[in-house]
Amino acid sequence: MARNAHPEVTERRILDAAQGIFFTKGYENTSIQDIVDQLGDLSKGAIYHHFKSKKAILDRLTENDWQAANAKYADIAARTDINGLAKLRLMIQESIGNEQHNKLNQVSISFLDDPQTLASNLRFWATELPKRWQPFIEEGVRDGSIPTAYPREAAELISLLSNYWLLTHFYPATRSELRHRVTCLATMLTAIGVPVFNDELIDLTVSFYMSYNA
Amino acid sequence: MARNAHPEVTERRILDAAQGIFFTKGYENTSIQDIVDQLGDLSKGAIYHHFKSKKAILDRLTENDWQAANAKYADIAARTDINGLAKLRLMIQESIGNEQHNKLNQVSISFLDDPQTLASNLRFWATELPKRWQPFIEEGVRDGSIPTAYPREAAELISLLSNYWLLTHFYPATRSELRHRVTCLATMLTAIGVPVFNDELIDLTVSFYMSYNA
């Protein structure tokens, strides 16, 4: 394979190989040499030519995951056959039912112990992520499926609580305690006119967050 | 005044002087020299003998404020003339109606922009602060005034949301937007059987949090 004839192909191969190893061995236990061994035809130097560090590889994987989620979001937003509530549910299902996204989050979660990373994530959850939920909630208000007076508050709380309070990493819980917590969130959201968590979505959510305990 | 005959008296004087200047000029604009000038009879060296930095003075003020709140908490907990709901309300009123505590929070709030400080506060809000609310909620469950199945969740959410989500520093808001947010929180807590925010407490809460906008 001619090196750098198509750098994006090489980068894609490095990312795929690294992701596979991160998922099986864990991020901490993975070395650049593991990635070299897996690929077979690239030197350490060649990998560093494309990514300055192991962290840079993980950052690119995370960025690509976010772009994929944005594409999914755009697809759901464009649908005309379902109402706002169904779109909101579908987007949450996509977020928590996506195995690739799930595994990547598991790889990344220890970085939330770094105060800088936690602070920048909190800023993102407060300012950017609500923009993903609020349009669906507002569509639901217009079509009658989400009878809420609190679209902005619901979007902020879904972002903050689903990324922080539901994580057993920050708030330790057994499976039954986590189910109780998710049911609590469901009850509160229903009370403000956002009945997004039905029994099926509660089940999915509990299973998703328990997988972080592994 | 004999220096160091009673170090706790000297420390008290330094703390009182520093607090007064922090409250009028702001923490950033206060120098150790300002504290020297205010006291009149202590040198810079004497102040540094008791506190290694301006930040150490603020940390002690914050620690004393927390101890005062703990004493207030113990007083309320010991009362036998009111139910759990009334105790919970009273404790929230004490937290947000205490002008000294309020001003000290205003002085300290910029430190939450430091990721280390934010992360350690978040840990405190997740693990320690709920212990202040949960016993009153459980007392209310026993005496029937707080008919909730979610004492732990309510304690965690009151701690997290009142220290983070309600702060316009993190989630900018006009007064009417903040009132909407507090009303949303009140509605959600009532829905899980914790009807702690009545109209009077909503008013107090909005005024308290708007003062941070100053």
Q: Looking at the predicted structure, is the pLDDT value of residue B193 above 70?
A: yes
Query: What tens digit of pLDDT does each residue of A133-178 get?
Result: 999 999 999 999 999 999 999 999 999 999 999 999 999 999 999 9
What phi and psi, each to the nearest 5 degrees, are found at residue A150? Answer: -125, 55
Domain B7-50, architecture per CATH: Orthogonal Bundle (1.10)
Give A112's DSSP letter.
G
Q: Looking at the predicted structure, is the pLDDT value of residue B50 above 90?
A: yes
Above pLDDT 90, what percent of chain A?
81
Q: Looking at the predicted structure, is the pLDDT value of residue A186 above 80?
A: yes
Give CA–CA dist B134/B123, Å, rounded.
Answer: 17
- CB-based burial label for B139 (10 Å; 0-12, 13-18, 19+): buried
Q: Looking at the predicted structure, is the pLDDT value of residue B212 above 80?
A: no
Query: What average pLDDT score do residues B51-78 get?
Result: 94
Query: What tens digit of pLDDT does each residue of B147-186 get?
Result: 999 999 999 999 999 999 999 999 999 999 999 999 999 9
Q: Looking at the predicted structure, is the pLDDT value of residue B3 above 80?
A: no
Q: Looking at the predicted structure, is the pLDDT value of residue A212 above 80?
A: no
Query: What tens digit of pLDDT does each residue of A90-119 get?
Result: 999 988 888 888 888 888 888 888 999 999
Classified as helix, coil or strand, B93 is helix
Query: What tens digit of pLDDT does each residue of B104-145 get?
Result: 888 888 888 899 999 999 999 999 999 999 999 999 999 999
R_g over Cα of chain B: 20
Question: Which of B111, B121, B184, B192 best probes binding to A when mutated, by most A CB atoms within 10 angstroms?
Answer: B184
**How far away is chain A from the Cα of B62, in angstroms, using its nearest Cα?**
21
Say what the pLDDT of residue A213 is: 57
**3-state SS of chain A: helix, strand, coil percent to 5?**
75, 0, 25
Q: What integer best gives the mean pLDDT of chain A? A: 93
Say what the pLDDT of residue A42 is: 92
Instruction: For residue A186, list chain B residues with Cβ-Cβ distance below 8 A.
Output: none
Which chain B residue has its CA at the smallest distance from A194's CA? B188
Task: Give the nearest partner residue to B126 out of A116, A120, A170, using CB atoms.
Answer: A170
Give CA–CA dist A127/B171, Å, rounded.
Answer: 8
Say what the pLDDT of residue B63 is: 93
Say what the pLDDT of residue B20 is: 93
Q: Write down the ipTM of this complex.
A: 0.89
- Lookup result for tokens 């320690």: B128
Task: Give the nearest partner residue to A184 out of B120, B153, B187, using CB atoms.
Answer: B153
**How far away is chain B from the Cα of A116, in angstroms, using its nearest Cα?**
5
Say what the pLDDT of residue A161 is: 97
Domain boundaries, chain B: 7-50, 83-213
- Lookup result for tokens 């972080």: A212
Say what the pLDDT of residue A7 is: 84
What are the angstrom distances between the C-alpha of B191 and each of A10, A23, A188, B167, B194? Answer: 54, 41, 6, 23, 7
CB B143 within 8 A of CB B83: yes
Instruction: For residue B122, list chain A residues with Cβ-Cβ distance below 8 A.
Output: 118, 122, 170
Largest Cα separation within chain B, whole Å, is 61
Instruction: For residue A160, list chain B residues with Cβ-Cβ distance below 8 A.
Output: 164-165
Which chain A residue has its CA at the smallest distance from B128's CA? A171
Instruction: For residue A187, list chain B residues with Cβ-Cβ distance below 8 A.
Output: 150, 191-192
